[in-house]
Amino acid sequence: MTVGIDDISIYIPRLFVDARDFAVARGMDPDKLQRGLGISKMAMVDTNQDPACMAANACLRIMQKSHLSPKDIGRLYVATESSLDESKAMNSYVIGMLEQIYGDDSFEHCGGIECKFACVSGSYALYDNSNWIRAGESGGKSAIVVVSDIAKYDLGSSGEYTQGAGAVAMLVNDNPRLLEFDPKVTSTSIKNEYDFYRPFGKETPIVHGQYSNLLYLLQVKKALMLYKEKALSTGLIKLKAGETILDYIDFLSMHLPYSNMGKKALAYLLRHEWRKLPRWKKIIEKIGMEEPIPKDPRGTIESVLADSEFMTKDHEFTKKFSKTEEFQEVYDTKLASSLIASQMIGNLYTASLYLGFRSCLEFEFQKGTDLAGKRFGFGSYGSGSSAMVFSGAIKPTYKEIVKDMNLESEIGNRVKLSLEEYEEIHENKRGPKENFLDSKEEFVLIDVENIAESKGERRYVFTG
């Protein structure tokens, strides 16, 4: 049975912090953010926005765009790591908001939960909902999977310049116009880790930045190895001598905590795949140095990071490798378009991977690339930690969806925050009603109850 993504919509808040202003205010070289990490703007929520209303706005857009009514939807899942409640699931808030438009109880048949596993949970939600359809349980209905997050780090921390906010809604069904998932190849890896986590009651995460970078690469590589086994054993991909599985993936979408992480991941995965192939010899000759090996090749992530001689040499090797025409060709043709939206918007945690997918569709379409039948590989990573690798093929009908994509007009008129305004929002110095922007035709938060018997109840309205 065919199952996949039929349609996709986004909601990105219009407020943003400019990376150059930010760098200057923090006494940093702006090039570190723009060239080093690939960040030019970070989307910020207004005081009357939260992950639930962003999710509802993305859902409403997909419902309206695809002319859906609530009876067409059998499940609504929200994946987030910006949870609002320890018990009440975010999809219930979203349904409450959607029912303001579609009528009381219009979604009462629609099951779903909130999913959590840092940034990878949206991928698990997509997989589980696809399997709900494959199992014949959907009764002809579609599922909506929404990924919505506010990436927020402590002021002055090294994570602060990798913030962002937004939501992506995806319609999943058995006759998808956009992308059909490849069956029986989805692969995962998992390990109990503390690279990035947010204990109860804490608004910002505890982050071990360089550790999290390396762990991301290792986990995605492990999931890719399993994917490879499955793709070969199911016959999805047949390798000839000297080939790698990545030769058969036309486009790559990676989890993007910042846009250059995609490039880092591509270099890491290509090195891993190519070093056993005849083509590597020529590349090593071009680079002019052998691939460095850590002092303790079987060591821990900590021991590798502490091996400063190896880290310096490995960094040098990666930089040289990334400049080879072999790498550049893969980068330009398979990855670069997926990184554009992240540069403009920042980190969306669960939604980053899917914003990257959307970015690739929009910008490849603009270039005139024929995407029909092309295979997309997805590298999803969530701290804590788990990775998921899966793939799908673009359907011949994809233009129906992609032709109308326009990131700038879908975000709307963006408004730059001063550093003072940004810090006021960040430190929660303004209440929901002290918003910066007027909203039109979208859900906003108007109140959060503070009295004991209804503490935490949130009220939303749809602005006219």
Given the rule CB under 6 A, which residues bind ligand CAA?
Answer: 29, 31-32, 35-37, 119, 158-159, 162, 196, 207, 209-210, 212-213, 216, 255, 257, 261, 315, 347, 349, 381, 383
Shortest gap between Cβ of 250 and ligand CAA (angstroms)?
24
Which residues neighbour 120 within 8 Å (Cβ) at sequence distance 6 or greater? 255, 350, 380, 381, 382, 386, 387, 388
The residue among 318 and 439 lying less far from ligand CAA, judged by its C-beta, is: 318
- The phi and psi torsions of 15 (rounded to 5 degrees) equal -75, 145
Shortest gap between Cβ of 324 and ligand CAA (angstroms)?
15
**Cα separation of 391 and 224, whole Å?**
11
Given a contact cutoff of 8 angstroms between Cβ atoms, the answer to whether 38 and 72 are in contact is: no
Number of H helices, E strands in the chain: 16, 17
Given a contact cutoff of 8 angstroms between Cβ atoms, the answer to whether 146 and 169 are in contact is: yes
Shortest gap between Cβ of 42 and ligand CAA (angstroms)?
12
**Cα separation of 425 and 47, whole Å?**
7
- What size, in residues, is the chain? 464
The residue among 132 and 196 lying less far from ligand CAA, judged by its C-beta, is: 196
Shortest gap between Cβ of 162 and ligand CAA (angstroms)?
4
The residue among 295 and 319 lying less far from ligand CAA, judged by its C-beta, is: 319
Shortest gap between Cβ of 216 and ligand CAA (angstroms)?
4
Q: Which residue is nearest to ligand CAA (CB)?
A: 36
Shortest gap between Cβ of 213 and ligand CAA (angstroms)?
5
Shortest gap between Cβ of 64 and ligand CAA (angstroms)?
30
Q: Would you state the structure tokens that stand for residue 142, as one six-digit string?
A: 């579609």
The residue among 32 and 295 lying less far from ligand CAA, judged by its C-beta, is: 32
**Cα separation of 447 and 350, whole Å?**
26
Given a contact cutoff of 8 angstroms between Cβ atoms, the answer to whether 214 and 259 are in contact is: no
Name the nearest CA neighbour of 17 among 9, 8, 26. Answer: 26
Shortest gap between Cβ of 106 and ligand CAA (angstroms)?
34
Please give the full DSSP string across 347-386, using - where no structure is assigned.
--GGGHHHHHHHHHHHHHHHHT---TTPEEEEEEEETTTE
The residue among 268 and 443 lying less far from ligand CAA, judged by its C-beta, is: 268
Which residues neighbour 400 within 8 Å (Cβ) at sequence distance 6 or greater? 177
The residue among 100 and 324 lying less far from ligand CAA, judged by its C-beta, is: 324
**Cα separation of 113 and 118, whole Å?**
15
Angle at 441 between CA 438 and CA 444, to 5 degrees: 60
Shortest gap between Cβ of 419 and ligand CAA (angstroms)?
18
The residue among 191 and 459 lying less far from ligand CAA, judged by its C-beta, is: 191
Shortest gap between Cβ of 220 and ligand CAA (angstroms)?
10
Burial 252-274 (b: 16+ CB within 10 A, else e): bbbbbbbbbbbbbbbbbbbbebb
The residue among 177 and 255 lying less far from ligand CAA, judged by its C-beta, is: 255
Name the nearest CA neighbour of 163 among 370, 458, 454, 426. Answer: 426
Report CA-CA distances (Å) from 198 to 83, 195, 203, 288, 418: 11, 10, 7, 43, 28
The residue among 37 and 444 lying less far from ligand CAA, judged by its C-beta, is: 37
The residue among 62 and 344 lying less far from ligand CAA, judged by its C-beta, is: 344
